[in-house]
Structure 1
Amino acid sequence: MSEYNEYNRNPNDYGFLSIFTNNWETLKKEYNEFIADEKFDFERAQLFMTPRSNTLKAKKGSIYSAFTLYCQGLPMGEFIKEFKLHWPEISDKEIADILGYLEENHFHETRKIIKQAEEASDGCLRNVLFSVLKPGTDIKLHVNWNPHMYRGYLGLQVPEGDIAMKICGEHLKWHNGEMLVLDHSLPHCPHNRTEEPRIALVIDFLKPDMDRQEMLDLEKKLMNERMQDNPLGLGIFTTEDKVSDDIFIKYGLEHQLTWDSGMV
């Protein structure tokens, strides 16, 4: 285990995260039941449940998918209504039908766990989504410009082999049943050079160790901008997710030269 630092945070410092970790097998079970549902159209659901990025680049076209259950402090359905979101490829009715089907048939315990964690977090919990990093993925160095938040990853299905998150020049590993907490406002690039997907529960939360009102004010400012610039990014991905030249040279030049050469 890497020593904890500014980009690799100690999960034990954020007590509410243990609610997810202690229930990781339940979360994995409900996810597996969900993906085994032959009646469910996953491609249609991903049209609106996967936040869209205009800046992420990778070796392959389709690199990442997600099923967002809780977004910007609200259940997904409430978030869509709050921001009056519409997607060009899928109707409002179909979205409502999909969310209704999920409400009735899936993630009953998961929603209880999220609710319990939300209450225990003292209002810090922001996003909860099942994240799929597909086999063969190698994502270009980037940042997620969310300086007001940390991102937790709870490993649910982590394949053996060459799979890691490189952040600030260090390779960190996901592990089944363990929480990895990162500051994604710093440069990072995940890869999955195995033959299996990596499944993790992603948990975004306000930085409890920073001034709360300052974080809320920054969040409001960023959300206003993002819902104008890239509303289908769900406030998670933005047009700002690029590294500055000095940070790129410090952390990403060697990786990028290799990435561009096609050697990874």
Structure 2
Amino acid sequence: MVDSKKLRRILEERLQQENRSFLFDREKDELRIENEESGKGITVSLPGIVAKWHEKKEKAIDEVIYYVEEALAVMGTDHSLSDQEKNIFPVIRSTSFPKEVEEGVPFFIDEHTAETNIYYALDLGKTYRLIDERLMKKEGWTKERLREMARFNLRSLPTNVKRDEVAGSIFYFLNTNDGYDASRILNDKFLKEMAGQVQGEMTVSVPHGDVLIIGDIRNETGYDVLAQMTMSFFTGGHVPITALSFIYEEGTLEPIFIMAKNRAVERENK
């Protein structure tokens, strides 16, 4: 059994390196891993990892180790937007996701829905760097240029889906694990093409960063299935976004609440 105390010891042992220090915040139950030379680091919340350990066991810890190592590897490294234009992509995040880097510099963020915001990332291969306003100013990039380049690159990503029928409704899953699956919700052409196939009511879900679910809801039971499905993905994802789904109508996304017990659907007032 792993608790916060044991998890902290495991992380410190596996992440130990020369010029690397650990700072533990007992009140918040957070562990910060920091490069002593640069002062840059990453902070992880231990209770969230413990919760995932109960589902995934050692895999949950392996995933944290991987992401911490990748994040620390790119910190303090200079990156150029102009030299890597083809590697700029939009990423969908929850509205509760941090709005700035630890130095207080704000990320460049666009509002998306009541549940989601759009961040922008520079893909570095195994990981990526979220683009902040300081980097944009340094490179002389405007907001419009960044948006246009990110959307253009997004349209080049594949949109192959897997189809599954459950209780009379159809569900399509996009899960390439390239880090931008949820970002396909911003591909208007793709959503319009899917809308042409849907016979019932079309829903779009982004429970976490590595999946996008499109529902062809043809009966009331389909909403129950959708609610259970999105919650399962939401709790099991690396980067949870939202357990709510969206109704897609004429190019717009409207969040909905699904109450499974009486199978009622309420649209959220914007």
- Please state which band the TM-score falls in when normalised by the shorter chain: under 0.3
Q: What's the TM-score once normalised by structure 2's chain length?
A: 0.24
- Bigger strand share: 2
Q: What's the TM-score once normalised by structure 1's chain length?
A: 0.25
Higher RCO, 1 vs 2 (CA within 8 Å, ≥6 residues apart): 1
Q: Mark the structure with the bigger radius of gyration.
A: 2
